[in-house]
Amino acid sequence: MVGLHEFVNALLEGIITGRGMSDGASARVAQQYLKHDLLKGFPIPRMKVAELEAELQFAVASPLVTQSTVASNEIGKNISYRIQYLLLSVANNPSIKGFFSKKKGSRQKWNDRSIELSQSLDAILSNQDINGDLAVDMLSLSVQNFFYAIAIDCSAPELLTEIGNILVPESNQNNEHPLTDAIAEEIKKIVNSVPTIDDSNIRRSPELTDSLPGLNILVTASELEGLDASQVQKLKLVCHAGDRKWIKKDGGTEEPTYILDRE
């Protein structure tokens, strides 16, 4: 199965090549007419394709609607669980455990905020309008808000310093926003480690082509944007003639020069 651009390119190239062969035949006939006493006054036979229309069978390679970063609810849950596991590993760090033991009720506040974070993560991952880098940014912001909310609930700004010591590599300690950058990097690693939608894989999928017999053109969704259902039922290709010819250019030189111009 070929792509639409490949098919259109091959079709137009074939038309142009065929027209060139036809013009060559016309030139040969013209020479023969010139040598014939009766035919040399006749017009030279020449075929002109004013318009070509073709209806194509096609398959759509990817959905027409915008997809979220994750390909299914289960993958979204996997990303959410991995982020929550990251926060659990922070909570089980000896320095954070020491903070919990000193600040009465801080562990319960952490758990309460964790429930809110889980809901926030699920909302982001189920939003069909959020994908790619925007998803990473939104997830990172939710984790940042989680840490800041805990620090505020416990009236303990030093908690952010402790969390930074856990998440921020020593090489990034001097960054302007070390904790923010570290959270974003961790979230990006998690999202990139989970299978997400890849249009190129869908386009090459043998299952897709095998399950659609008789369809010989593969069209990407972006090529069908703005079309309603009735327009998408059949793909119609219309080609109009746009002939060009060589025109002798008056340059005053011994060797004549020619330029391409339209008829």
The b-or-e profile of 138-163 (16+ CB within 10 A means b, else e) is: bbbbbbbebbebbbebbebeebeebb
Least confident window among 47-56, 112-121, 205-214: 205-214
Report pTM: 0.49
Q: Locate tokens 């505020």: which residue?
A: 152
**pLDDT tens by residue, 60-110:** 555 544 445 555 677 888 889 999 999 999 999 999 999 999 999 999 999
**pLDDT tens by residue, 158-194:** 999 899 889 887 766 666 678 888 899 999 888 888 7
Between 189 and 213, the more confident residue is 189
Burial zone of 179 (CB within 10 Å; 0-12 exposed, 13-18 middle, 19+ buried)? buried
Residue 212: what pLDDT? 38
CA-based nearest residue to 145, from 187, 198, 105, 102: 187
